[in-house]
Structure 1
Amino acid sequence: MTKNDLALFKGRYKFPNEVQPQLPFPNERADTVFEGWICMYVKYFECGLRLPILPLIIQCMHHYQLAIPLLMLNSMRVFLELIVITDEVGIVLTVDDSLALYYPQENTKDYG
């Protein structure tokens, strides 16, 4: 992704003005973040994530003590779909509700 691509990406996914995305430097990895910053993968936005991040997703990440980039793409899709479906029928979903409907499992085969 180039700086021009980044500007188009920000517009396509309607980033709020206060959000300033930045491309990683060549020596940076997903776990190289600075105070006040968060790493996000493009695929999350392609599957429906928008900013600001929905409270339920933040609450679930706190519950599991995970940073968002550690959530597998399919799990992100499930959370987003649960939010959309319950919003359409007027239900406010809590973390406990989401756990009753979907319980992400830890990957015990590959740590790190």
Structure 2
Amino acid sequence: MLKSELTALLAPRRDNDVVIDVDGVRVPLVGVTYCNVGDQIVLSMDPAELDGAMRAAVLPHCRRCGCTEGAACPGGCAWASDEQQVAAGLDPMLGDVCTACVPQPVGAGS
């Protein structure tokens, strides 16, 4: 499929079927154009939506469910320690995980 054909398919979509992921925060497109000079698809976002997404992206959030300090999991959660993540087979260097998303280590609770 040519980029110009893809642009023609995406341009009329305004129902959040096409979004841009900004570190886990989805921002809807407000425009899709094709630039034949650079052979590029140009995606336009609302500056206020992008600003909100960027602010949300820098807040600590669970890499599995997306919860934050201000919007915890139903039933509550906390940040899992590095030790808890390692015990569950997760790599703490990949980012924060909440306690609700940390799988129980094999044999735990028996």
TM range (shorter): under 0.3
| TM-score for the superposition, normalised by structure 1 | 0.25
What is the TM-score of this pair, normalised by structure 2?
0.25
Larger radius of gyration: 2
Structure 1 or 2: larger helix share? 1
